[in-house]
Structure 1
């Protein structure tokens, strides 16, 4: 099956799972996700070069489309540009994984992780563990020197995912020892 047909199928799958995004937002997500899968990298230059060949388009046009997908609305060209609020995708993403999880398997492992990238960024992430791989389903990027508690961020991330996993499933939540706090444990329990 030619690659454009596969992109069309992938577009249908993405738009079914994350249906609240606009068509241009869906297409941008399709290009990014397919490009990462095909190129084996998340670099915009490599992805745009590969997708330009697949789509028979100019590399610079594909590059610009990919770039505008993640920009704030005020930095995009055109009059009807909107930015993507990724938090609205957290629940649909986890529900999509649950839907595809597999027959009879009603156990899931979630991992809470705080990763520091130098002194520049701290990323709080909730991921689903599948076959020794962690797929991020909710995240918050903080400035490396940002003051304040992580509590509201973790509680917010958990709330975004509340109700996405069926109540009868067994869910194991894992975290580094440094993330333990009574309030975090309570927030996890409140989400089921």
Structure 2
């Protein structure tokens, strides 16, 4: 009977084991110089995972930095990296990697630190817009069905939310998953 109990316990442990996955991943932040930023995510795993934080792919060990610069916490899957007194050097890509016996997962976020002085100061700078916002153009409506007769021309139109910038003009059309190239019949 002890053998059956042991096997049942092992089976429960095996079934309850799960690789880590992020319930809420990290998100990017833009902060002012000398302020504090909190990178927060939630992870679920069984058994609890080993957690490692990285700055630009270099492991963060709070003991190697000035006292109080980094604070790392793990409260039952709520993972937090606190970066105090941010400087321009703290602007980076931060990654958290979690792993246990059943697998591993990673989440990353960019931190942009803004300075009060200089041409790149402020959240209205072009650098901030490009790094944090990505393309600002969106479709304002879906592609509507078009009915045409054989050998009759027709047009497809997709309106955008605003003018497309030169850098964003790589617009491509696809039909059944294949790229449509310009030809005498298509423009």
Which TM-score tier does this pair reach, normalised by the shorter chain?
A: under 0.3
TM-score, scaled to structure 2: 0.24
Which structure would you say has the larger Rg?
2
Higher strand proportion (structure 1 or 2): 2
Pick 1 or 2: higher relative contact order, CA cutoff 8 A, min separation 6: 2
Higher helix proportion (structure 1 or 2): 1
